[in-house]
Copies of this chain bind each other. A is one copy, B any other.
Amino acid sequence: MGIPKPAAERLARLMQLLEQRKDRESPVSSAELEYITGWPSHTIRKDISFLAAGNDISTPAGYNPARLAQAINGALGFARATHNCCVVGLGRMGSAFLEYGGFHDSLFTLCAGFDSNVNRVEILRADIPLYPAFKMKEIIPRLDITYALLAVPPDQARQTALRLAECGIRGIVNFTPVMLSVPPGVEVEQVSVLDALGALAARLAVGDKT
Chain A facing B: main interface SS? helix
Is A193 part of the binding interface, using a Cβ–Cβ cutoff of 8 Å?
A: yes
CA A147 – CA B193 in complex, angstroms? Answer: 11
Q: Which residue of B lies closest to A17 (CB)?
A: B179
CA A100 – CA B154 in complex, angstroms? Answer: 10
Shortest Cβ distance from residue A156 to the other chain B in the assembled complex, whole angstroms: 14
Q: Which residue of B lies closest to A20 (CB)?
A: B179
How many copies of this chain sit in the oligomeric assembly? 2
Tell me whether A191 and B191 are in contact (CB under 8 A).
Answer: yes
CA A17 – CA B51 in complex, angstroms? Answer: 35
> With A171-B197, A202-B12, A203-B8 in contact, is A92–B83 under 8 Å at CB?
no
CA A156 – CA B171 in complex, angstroms? Answer: 31
Given contacts A8-B202, A13-B199, A101-B154, 11 further A-B contacts (CB under 8 A): A8-B203, A12-B202, A15-B198, A76-B202, A77-B208, A106-B197, A149-B193, A170-B200, A171-B200, A189-B196, A191-B196
| 30 residue pairs from A and B, CB less than 8 Å apart | A2-B210, A4-B206, A8-B202, A8-B206, A9-B198, A9-B199, A13-B195, A76-B201, A76-B202, A77-B209, A83-B197, A83-B201, A92-B95, A93-B93, A93-B96, A96-B96, A100-B193, A101-B154, A102-B193, A103-B194, A106-B194, A107-B198, A107-B201, A108-B194, A147-B197, A173-B197, A187-B203, A187-B207, A189-B196, A189-B197
A interface vs B, CB < 8 Å? 2-5, 8-9, 11-13, 15-16, 76-78, 83, 85, 91-93, 95-97, 99-103, 106-108, 147, 149, 154, 170-173, 177, 185, 187-189, 191-210
